Amino acid sequence: MKKIAIVQSNYIPWKGYFDLIASVDEFILYDDMQFTRRDWRNRNQIKTPQGIQWLTVPVRVKGKYHQLIKDVEIDGCEWAKEHLRAFEINYKRTNFFQEIYSLIEPIYCRGAVKYLSDLNRDLIKNICNYLDIHTVITTSSDYKIIGGKTERLVDLCIKAGGCTYISGPSAMNYIDPDIFTRSNIALEWFNYDGYDRYPQLWGDFTHNVSILDLLFNAGRDSRKFMKFTNL
In a domain, 230, yes or no: no
In a domain, 231, yes or no: no
26: domain range?
3-225
pLDDT given for residue 230 in this prediction = 63
In a domain, 37, yes or no: yes
**What does each C-alpha distance from 216 to 46, 48, 74, 83, 94 come to in angstroms?**
11, 13, 26, 15, 6
What's the total number of domains in the chain? 1
- Comparing CA positions, the residue from 231, 200, 194 lying closest to residue 214 is 200
In a domain, 199, yes or no: yes
State pLDDT tens for residues 4-59. Answer: 999 999 999 999 999 999 999 999 999 999 999 889 999 999 999 999 999 999 99
In a domain, 114, yes or no: yes
The separation between the first and the last C-alpha atoms of the chain, rounded to the nearest angstrom, is: 15
In a domain, 82, yes or no: yes
In a domain, 21, yes or no: yes
**Residue 145 clears pLDDT 90, i.e. is over it:** no
Decide: 156 and 3 in contact? Cβ < 8 Å: no
Q: pLDDT averaged over the chain?
A: 94
Mean pLDDT of 76-86: 95
State pLDDT tens for residues 164-193. Answer: 999 999 999 999 999 999 999 999 999 999
In a domain, 175, yes or no: yes
State pLDDT tens for residues 101-114. Answer: 999 999 999 877 89
